[in-house]
Amino acid sequence: MKADQPIDLPWEQPFERAQLQTLPLEVAERIAAGEVIERPASVVKELLENALDAGAHELRIEIRGGGLRMIRVTDDGYGIPEHELEAVCQRHTTSKIRTFEDLSALHTFGFRGEALASIATIAEITILSRTVEAEQQDDEQAAFWITLRGNEMIQRGRRARLHGTTITVRDLFYNVPARLSFMRGARTENSHILQLVRKYAAGYPATRFTLILDEHLALQTSGSGSVVEALTELYHLSLKELLSPIELSDGAHYRLYGYLGNRILAQHNRQYLTLFVNGRLVNSRGLQEALEQGYRSLLPKGKHPLLVLHIEVPPPELDANIHPAKAEVQLVYEKEITRVLTQAVQSVLEHNPVAPEALHFPGPVLASQRRLPGVRRRGLHVAETAEGYRAESAPPGTAEVIASLHPLAQLQQAVILAEASDGSLYLIDQHRAHERVIYEHLRSTSTGNRNKEEVSDAHLLLEPVMIEMKRYEADLLEQRLPLLRGLGIECERFGGRSFLIRSVPVGHEQAVEHLQELATLAAEDSTDWEDQLLIGLACRSALRRGRELSSGEQRTLLHALAKAAVPAVCPHGSPILLHYSRSFLIEKFSW
């Protein structure tokens, strides 16, 4: 095309109205399949949920070729009667609802009746099933099976099996080449499937899950009913002391329960945040934001915790019909639930000390490699026993425990070694502990002075310190001078981009050397500039590492830390406390 040749745009062409018509069934079915089946993991999700709806206590998932060659899900649920086998692959056939009003009383995953129909449209699917009733009646007839390809029946017959259902999906996307071309390699698709099955295995610990990827055992749980044991089996970690329970309810509109992992389990992605609403695995933006608001300031930047959380609400207060794949929900009392969710996460992490061992988390482990909780290693046992120590009356990291700590020594002039009343040990970073104490004092002073329009006590400098700002920073800083004065920082513009600082808050004289840096924080174009300034001021004023502390100074610092609202984490999100529990010492020394 020549550079000066005009381009014919679609809307500049002569208009011809296309005649309205009904989509052919095969086109409509493929469009619907595209909404529900995004990748092989989508098929696994639909089949898992069908099995759980059918009351399965044991689930076996087999994957080959990343799920594109084969997906097989076997369960021990109620089974499907012979006369319904073909019907379950037709669109909108469901036993879950009868009328529109039934949507407000859902107790199941599926309800639209589009999952198996969508899968059958873009793959070859074989359904083998035997009902519980047939087995209870000693019916000698074998299970029934059918095979459909492109949603057309190609085979049917009988085969022996116990009650339950086996669904095998082969050649996924064989007739949708565009979708097939966008699929990743088998390794990537296997990773998505593994992540999905992990979430369901953690959320449904009473069901025994087995996942086999290309004939290798990738995951297996015992179905014990314990979330802690399920997570131990999934990640090959003894997690009993690394998980904190969450249990909240208002008795009417919501109930929250689950487990939140210790900060040492935090990872650089969100795939270990698992949320269920009325048993349904969801990816709600509002709930995710509430979670992040709860842990963002309490974990290092970019880190996300291990969490398995169930939210239960009355069915009429839940709308699960807003997403084609049922991955999102709407809650009537979502605003209240998100607020409680944020507070629940904060309350756990604020008092959550670090455990001493470096953990290689996460990673699938073969069943033969698992070490179940409570299994003691064999070895030489010393004469002393673990008896005679009083158990802590409060969880580790709480104010009661920190206030009762007895300092033993100062290590490398940076860390305080202290003993708890139950014989466990704590290492306390003296700089971070002091930084937390100062920050909370500054925060309360700043808030109180703003409400009363008062000015904090200030330490007048012998000589004012001149600082230079960038032009846009100078304008912002000038607008914020009254707030700085409330903190005890007397600052005035000295023409152009120059400012004179005449005072700093009392007790923060060490910060004089960092006034240029603090002024830059005060001039940040962000909504949290004041908080960042307080963090910076606390950090520059806190005890430095290398400062020797007497026993009395150590006790004073620990008592001040015990009064802090968030004693386990410094304002930057780094840990203050390292906890060696009594059980950890018992295991390591084989007492």
CATH no. for residue 418? Answer: 3.30.1540.20
Only one residue has tokens 């519980």, namely 132
- Cα–Cα distance between 121 and 151 in angstroms, integer? 5
Same domain, 403 and 522: yes
**How many C-beta atoms lie closer than 10 Å to residue 590's C-beta?**
12
Q: State how many domains the chain has.
A: 3
Pick the closest to residue 28 from 92, 124, 110, 93 (CA basis). Answer: 92
- Statement to judge: residues 202 and 262 lie in one domain: no
Coil/strand/helix, residue 385: coil
Same domain, 145 and 267: no
* End position of a domain, from candidates 169, 186, 216: 216
Please answer whether residues 169 and 71 qualify as being in contact, where contact means their C-beta atoms are separated by less than 8 angstroms.
Answer: yes
Inter-residue contact 256 to 311 (CB < 8 Å): yes
300 to 9, 111, 148, 266, 267: CA distances (angstroms): 51, 41, 51, 9, 10
Cβ(458)–Cβ(425) below 8 Å? no
C-beta neighbour count of 246 within 10 angstroms: 19
Residues 456 and 513 grouped into a single domain:
yes
CATH assignment of the domain containing 92: 3.30.565.10
Q: Could you give the strand order of the β-sheet that contains 458-468, starting from the edge strand earlier in sequence?
A: 458-468, 498-505, 491-493
* Residue 1 resides in a domain: no
Distance CA 38, CA 268 (A): 25
Residue 505: phi and psi, rounded to 5, are: -60, 145
- Residue 531 included in any domain: yes
Co-location of 471 and 586 in the same domain: yes
- Residue at 377 is within a domain: no
Q: Could you check whether the bond before residue 362 is cis, i.e. omega within 30 degrees of 0?
A: yes
pTM for this prediction: 0.72
Each residue's pLDDT, cut to its tens digit, for the chain (591 residues) gives 555 555 555 555 555 555 556 556 665 555 555 556 889 999 999 999 989 988 899 999 999 999 999 999 999 998 888 888 887 877 766 665 455 554 555 555 655 557 788 888 889 999 999 988 876 666 566 789 999 998 888 999 988 888 899 999 999 998 888 788 888 788 899 999 999 999 999 999 999 999 999 999 999 999 999 999 999 898 877 777 788 899 999 888 999 999 998 888 888 888 899 999 988 898 888 888 999 999 988 888 888 999 999 999 888 887 766 666 566 777 888 899 999 999 999 988 888 887 776 566 654 433 333 333 333 333 333 333 444 444 444 677 788 899 999 999 999 999 999 999 888 899 999 999 999 999 998 888 777 666 555 556 788 888 888 989 888 888 888 888 888 888 888 898 888 889 999 888 888 888 888 899 889 898 888 888 888 888 998 998 899 889 999 999 999 999 999 999 889 888 888 889 998 888 888 887 877
Q: In this structure, are 281 and 135 located in the same domain?
A: no
Q: Are strands 152-159 and 58-64 parallel, antiparallel or unpaired?
A: unpaired
Residues spanned by the domain of 285: 238-349
Residues 571 and 432 in one domain: yes
Residues 149, 36, 67, CA angle at the centre, nearest 5°? 60
Nearest CA among 241, 246, 291 for reference residue 270: 291
Both 502 and 587 in one domain: the answer is yes
Compute the Cα dihedral for 149, 151, 152, 156 and give only its sign. Answer: positive
